[in-house]
Amino acid sequence: MDLGLAGRVALVTAASRGLGRASAEALAAEGAAVVICARGREALDDTVRAITEAGGTAVAVAADVTDPAVPERLVRAAVGRFGRLDVVVANAGGPPPGRALEVDDDAVRAALEANLLTSVRLVRAAVPHLRAGGWGRICCITSRSVRQPIPGLSLSNTARAGLWGWAKTAAADLFADGITVNLVCPGLHATDRVEALSTDTVSGPLGDPADFGRVVAFLCSEPAGFVSGVALGVDGATVTGLL
């Protein structure tokens, strides 16, 4: 199947490792030029090297996506380098574990900043450029906690549910402009983040990040143009609710 991504330009945040990197690699494998960001330079350079060696095009910007000025800067970097922007994959590092009654105000604010506001700011900065092209794909990487809160991860459960409400609204607002907005909700995948969490908070089947990246690439594709406002689980059937 031709995903229609050749010649497109994609911005993927928090993409030097794990699910963000896999998404950038999958988009690049489909012919999109990708701009990636993360804080650490070494892993960014390694990712650019891997994409380039595989025949793709990638540019890295070292940046902390929780800095309110960064989303605008990343969008400018993508448009400045490639002349357009078509695809946005909004990702950020996950918040620390914490039981509902043990997290303080500062921890809740930090989670909202990292796992809700980063996406809102990025989409706000990107949409004028997507509208200019009359086409756009926006995916926010969240968690299966959007569909089924995970015990012991109250910060993730809270921030991501808020993002889901915002994204669903944005999807309705943007569809007439040819722009889709979806959430991709991973269950456990074999990344550094999962290795860092204790086995008390995570257990179950482990997905392959490369497969997750291909799901993101499909949601960002031409044929997925009528798929919008969806929170797509990529969770190995570990979410047991019906909705």
Q: How far apart are CA 216 and CA 116, in angstroms?
A: 19
Query: Pattern 9-28, binding to ligand NAP, x per CB under 6 A?
Result: -----xxxxxxx--------
- Contact indicator for 128, 76 with CB cutoff of 8 Å: no
**193 makes contact with ligand NAP (CB under 6 A):** yes
CB 131 → ligand NAP: shortest distance, Å? 26
Work out whether 38 is an interface residue with ligand NAP (CB under 6 A): yes
- Spatial CA neighbour of 37 closest among 8, 14, 71: 14
Q: Does 214 bind ligand NAP (CB under 6 A)?
A: no
194 binds ligand NAP (CB under 6 A): yes
Instruction: Say whether residue 66 binds ligand NAP (CB under 6 A).
Output: yes
| Radius of gyration of the chain, Cα coordinates, nearest whole angstrom | 17
**Residue closer to ligand NAP, measured from CB, 35 or 141:** 141
Report the residue from 2, 6, 7, 40 that binds ligand NAP according to the rule CB under 6 A.
40
DSSP-based three-state secondary structure for 184: strand
Greatest Cα pair distance in the chain = 49
Query: Does 37 engage in binding with ligand NAP (CB under 6 A)?
Result: yes
- CB-based contacts of 55, cutoff 8 Å, min separation 6: none
Least spacing, CB of residue 32 vs ligand NAP, in Å: 18
Burial class from Cβ neighbours inside 10 Å (0-12, 13-18, 19+) for residue 150 reads middle
Burial class (CB in 10 A: 0-12, 13-18, 19+), 148: middle
Query: Which positions from 93 to 132 touch ligand NAP by CB under 6 A, shown as an x/- string?
Result: xx--------------------------------------
Of residues 71 and 136, the one with the C-beta less far from ligand NAP = 71
If binding is defined by CB under 6 A, does position 192 make contact with ligand NAP?
Answer: yes
Type of residue at 208: D
Interaction site with ligand NAP (CB under 6 A)? 14-20, 37-40, 43, 64-66, 91-94, 141, 143, 186, 188-189, 191-194
